[in-house]
């Protein structure tokens, strides 16, 4: 009994300990990310939270970083002009991009500028964020009224204030971390476990989905509320579009393998994660209207299934 109580005190003390002694700079100890094996209790943990971090107050960028954090965690509500679906950045980058094996963004600012294979050009952090709005947040679905009364598509670009704010937040959580950070790229399925896409069985994926995912995502994939969390739409008009990274089978499987199911991440095998991803990507989602401009300098990856299906004739490859 006493032992249990003491253990509990230790756990609470550990949980309450500041993630990083000082931030930014100084001899601070780098904040650990929220561990990958986690529960709903840690769903709202942020090792670095700009809304409460007193060291940020002195920074001229404080209000921008805070806006960036709010945009990141409540994107559909805070950036409606740039979000054509029901998702937040934090739906996929769990714990506001500060969780291990859930596509963490801590430290990622330092890897940019970086060559982007899909678009065949060098990307700044801001370019990457615009890409996320265009694809994961389906901004290309948004129409704006013109003075002449027409409704036209509007695409975000790097001059948008929302993009600058989110970049400020990602730079802030990246301060003091070497690039690339050691936790980057840990949402991938090992090469020797990859199953050729045409050998995946959507029927098996569907039954695995119903067994492991439906309780929170619904049989219709549209998400049910659990406490103050709501899983986002996995397919259909309110989901990410078919030009997003998460619309690729192996990319999605890498997220599912290590970050889902939410209360027991890591319990699925690589095979099961790929079957489920195969099922999810067999279903309709919004079309990214600029797909023909992607992968012009490299081959279309085999798991980019929405590019393979009914793809228009492409010009010969111009590989450099």
Any contact of residue 260 with ligand HEC (CB under 6 A)?
Answer: yes
User: Of 2-10, 13-21, 133-141, 309-317, which segment contacts ligand HEC by CB under 6 A?
Assistant: 133-141
Question: From the list 93, 171, 206, 238, which residue makes contact with ligand HEC (rule: CB under 6 A)?
Answer: 93
Which of 110, 140, 106 shows the shortest CA–CA distance to 125?
A: 110
Query: Is residue 186 part of the contact set for ligand HEC (CB under 6 A)?
Result: no
Query: What whole-number distance in Å separates Cα of residue 313 and Cα of residue 299?
Result: 14
Which residue's CB atom is positioned nearest to ligand HEC? 245
Q: Smaller CB distance to ligand HEC: residue 23 or 107?
A: 107
Q: How far is the CB of 103 from ligand HEC (least distance, A)?
A: 5
User: Quick check: 306 binds ligand HEC (CB under 6 A)?
Assistant: no
The correct pick among 19, 33, 56, 87 for binding ligand HEC (CB under 6 A) is 87
Number of residues that bind ligand HEC (CB under 6 A): 44
**34 sits near ligand HEC (criterion: CB under 6 A):** no
- The candidate with the shortest Cα–Cα distance to 276, out of 244, 253, 310, is 253
User: Does 200 engage in binding with ligand HEC (CB under 6 A)?
Assistant: no
User: Which one of residues 116, 119, 175, 184 is an interface residue with ligand HEC (CB under 6 A)?
Assistant: 184
Q: Where along the sequence are the contacts to ligand HEC (CB under 6 A)? A: 43, 75, 87, 89-94, 103, 105, 108, 128-129, 132-133, 136-137, 166, 184, 212-213, 215-217, 226, 229, 231-234, 240, 244-246, 251, 255-256, 260-263, 268, 276
């Amino acid at each position: 009994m006493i032992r249990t109580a003491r253990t509990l005190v230790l756990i609470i003390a550990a949980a309450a300990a500041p993630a990083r002694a000082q931030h930014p700079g100084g001899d601070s100890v780098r904040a650990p990310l929220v561990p990958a094996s986690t529960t709903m209790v840690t769903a709202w943990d942020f090792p670095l939270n700009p809304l409460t971090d007193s060291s940020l107050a002195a920074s001229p960028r404080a209000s921008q970083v805070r806006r960036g954090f709010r945009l990141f965690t409540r994107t559909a509500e805070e950036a409606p002009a740039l979000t054509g679906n029901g998702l937040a950045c934090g739906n996929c980058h769990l714990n506001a991009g500060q969780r291990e094996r859930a596509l963490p963004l801590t430290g990622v600012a330092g890897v940019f500028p970086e060559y982007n294979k899909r678009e065949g050009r060098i990307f700044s952090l801001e370019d990457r964020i615009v890409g996320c709005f265009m694809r994961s947040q389906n901004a290309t679905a948004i129409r704006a009224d013109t003075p002449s009364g027409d409704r036209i598509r509007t695409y975000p670009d790097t001059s948008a204030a929302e993009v600058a704010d989110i970049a400020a937040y990602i730079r802030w959580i990246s301060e003091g971390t070497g690039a690339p950070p050691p936790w980057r790229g840990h949402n991938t399925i090992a090469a020797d476990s990859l199953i050729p896409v045409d050998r995946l069985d959507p029927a098996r994926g569907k039954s695995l989905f119903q067994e492991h995912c439906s309780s929170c995502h619904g049989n219709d994939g549209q998400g049910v509320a659990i406490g103050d969390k709501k899983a986002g739409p996995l397919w259909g008009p309110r989901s990410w579009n078919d030009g997003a990274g998460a619309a690729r089978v192996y990319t999605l499987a890498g997220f599912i393998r290590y970050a889902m199911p939410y209360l027991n991440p890591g319990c699925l095998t690589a095979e099961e994660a790929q079957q489920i991803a195969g099922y999810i990507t067999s279903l309709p989602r919004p079309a990214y209207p600029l797909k023909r401009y992607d992968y012009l300098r490299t081959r279309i990856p085999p798991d980019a299934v929405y590019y393979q299906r009914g793809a228009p004739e492409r010009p010969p490859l111009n590989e450099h």
